[in-house]
Amino acid sequence: MIALYLISCPWLSLFSLLLVLSQNPAMAIEFDFNGFNDGDIPIIGAAKLDGRTIHLTGADSTRSIGRAYFPTPLTIKFQNSTNMSSFSTSFIFSILSRTPETTRNRGLSFFLSPPIEGHVPNLVSLIDVEFGTNFYQEFGRNHVYVRPPPPLPIVNNPAGYWSSTTSFESLDIRSGQNIQVWIDFDGPNLTINVTIAPAGTARPVRPLLSYRNDKLQESLTAEVFVGFSGWRWKRNEWQRVLAWSLSTDGPAPPLNTSNLPVLSVEESSSSKSVAFIAGISATCVLVFLSLVIGIIYKVFFKKGSSAVEELEEWESEYWPHRIPLEVLHKATKGFSKEGLLGSGGFGKVYRGTLPDSNLEVAVKCVSRTSKQGIREFLAEIWSMGRLQHRSLVQLRGWCRQDDQLMLVYDFMPNGSLDKRIFDSPRNLMNWEDRLRVVTDVAEGLLYLHEGWEQQVLHRDVKSSNVLLDADMRGRIGDFGLARLYQHGQTTQATRIVGTMGYLSPELGRTMAPTTASDVYSFGVVALEVASGRRPVDFTTDQVLVDWVRELYYEGRLLDAADSRIAGEYREAEMEVVLKVGLACSHPNPKRRPSIRQALRVLLCMNLDECH
């Protein structure tokens, strides 16, 4: 099977992107993990191994995604055959959730996902069997779902099991109780059966839900990876997998359900109380020591020092220079609430006017509570200090005094791109401005990737980081996650950074950023601009890239265009922007164009001589 991104203009032939699915013959696979050891299966994202249990979401961050999967894909479709193969799997999981009833956490899913480059799963699954803690208006929460590829319908049932053929027992999957699951994928009959019960209980004779659809075969790839994903948008929910077995040649091997660790509400509450008391005690000691050290430093090291700030030894090597705190205090009228432009995970941004030059600026104050504040503050100074381009937000100066960390930028009077295209903005951006901003962002990325002495990877390209100047020109801002490399140097990273919806799929495997991962994010921004939709609709769990790609395959690509600006654009222009967005957000990084190629298409849109 060949999937094709083909753009129907002669100078767009460079974007003919192919994805060839492997056709290797099936081999029988069988395994059983009664507990996990380091190296048994790949664990990515926020997932980690704790003892012999896989915790899918971290304990600290608010938004957290983790995955674990079997490293060998299953062959479920055969060449020159209309039949699909079968497999059976069983696993034990538990979820402990303390979130309010309306909190949008996703719970835990068993996924079937297509391969990327043949050996890692795509972050976008084909089928999910979801054990949901999310609240859905039409379903409530505490349900089990089978989510096939759109537009196939979702099947769901309240969580529970049949203790006999007529007696149904409810289960609270948010309680921390260990629950065993049996999933039977019946390929010849195009059926998925899901059965659950408390761990240690005999398998019920009747499944909780059964899903069958004749179109299931055409929606699946020849090979799929299987595994688990945990999604959490708010704190206080934990998902874990304790054991797992699978067979492609008969029933899944039985699991040992004795002596399993139990995560109960009472135990968690007690442990949290102990941790809280210990944390308070440690904090008091640290505060006392910090006060003592601070007093000693003030008395012995800063006695007689001038009130005028002195430049650091390294500071004179870089531009821009340090701005005294007193100047910024005056410029922002004491960091008044009236001048507050916005706030985020790394602090607040204030509007101000520098007293000597009357230059309007935006002062970004890095939050003292941000764990990565200093590192990202320094990253922005290093990244932005010498970068000069019309499509980048200009850094004018910086300030560091004691624990005060600030960056001073040119003020962008028209705010950020996302505020002009999503929901119901007061001043909806027209098509002409949108097209120009997409081109501006591409030009800025080209400068970062190819136009400077070092290669700069932004790593957080998104519509809220595209700011609009007085002329409605787009400028890339927020370089807190940016990294500098020598041209041709192999990039490295120890964690995934960026924003959900803009992260390229391969980052879940390699974690190392590349120009291709920046291009993917740019592709999402282009689709946002053309459609007026956010990258992920959390009310429906619809992913923008998948939705536009589906319309493209159905020959209805222009249905993705923002209906609020109907009549403003030429269909050919809208089609090009959507296709450039799709090409740049191709799931395979090797199939994406470079940002130079994407920019050339945008610039040549109205020029017949471009080839």
- What is the full DSSP assignment across 1-64? -EEEE--SSGGGGGG-EEEEPP-PPP---EEEESS--TTSS-EEET-EEETTEEE-S-SS-SSE
Q: Does residue 13 register a pLDDT over 90?
A: no
Please say whether the beta carbons of 513 and 483 come within 8 A: yes
Output the DSSP codes for 329-366: HHHTTTT-GGGEEEEETTEEEEEEE-TTT--EEEEEEE
Binned at pLDDT 50, 70 and 90, residue 437 comes out as: very high
CA atoms within 13 A on the CB side of 395: 29
Cα 510 to Cα 73: distance, rounded to the nearest angstrom: 18
243 torsion bin: left (phi>0), alpha (psi -120 to 50), beta (else): beta
pLDDT at 270: 40
* Under 8 Å between Cβ of 466 and 525: yes
In order of their start, the domains of the chain are 29-270 (2.60.120.200), 315-410 (3.30.200.20), 418-603 (1.10.510.10)
Q: For residue 3, what pLDDT is reported? A: 32
Pairing mode, strands 209-212 and 17-20: unpaired
Mean pLDDT (whole number) for 412-429: 89
- Per-residue confidence (pLDDT) for residue 68, from 0 to 100: 93
376-391: per-residue pLDDT in tens?
A: 556 556 656 667 788 9
- 243-264 pLDDT, tens per residue? 999 999 889 999 999 888 876 5
Which has the closest alpha carbon to 450: 607, 605, 587, 598?
A: 598
CA 411 – CA 389 distance, rounded (Å)? 16
How far is it, in rounded angstroms, from Cα 423 to Cα 44? 33
Residue, of 159 and 264, whose pLDDT is higher: 159
pLDDT band at 296 (very low <50, low <70, confident <90, very high): very low
* Three-state secondary structure call for residue 153: coil
User: Residue 307: its pLDDT value, please?
Assistant: 33
- For 120, the enclosing helix (H) or strand (E) is strand 120-121
What is the SS3 assignment for 420? Answer: helix
pLDDT of 226 > 90? The answer is yes
Say which of 460, 469, 478, 562 is annotated catalytic: 460
What is the tally of helices (H) and strands (E) in the chain?
A: 11, 33
460 belongs to the catalytic site: yes
Q: Helix 571-584 and helix 544-553: axis angle, to 10°?
A: 120
Tell me if 364 is assigned to a ligand binding site. yes
**Averaged pLDDT, 412-428:** 89
The per-residue pLDDT for 111 is: 94
Q: Any idea how long the chain is?
A: 611
- pLDDT bracket for residue 440 (50, 70, 90): very high
Instruction: Report whether pLDDT(165) > 90.
Output: no
Long-range Cβ contacts of 36-44 (<8 Å, 24+ apart)? 36/241, 36/244, 41/68, 41/69, 41/70, 41/71, 41/227, 42/68, 42/69, 42/71, 42/509, 43/67, 43/68, 44/68, 44/508, 44/509, 44/511
Dump pLDDT digits (tens) for 516-575. Answer: 999 999 999 999 999 999 998 877 778 999 999 999 999 999 999 999 999 999 999 999
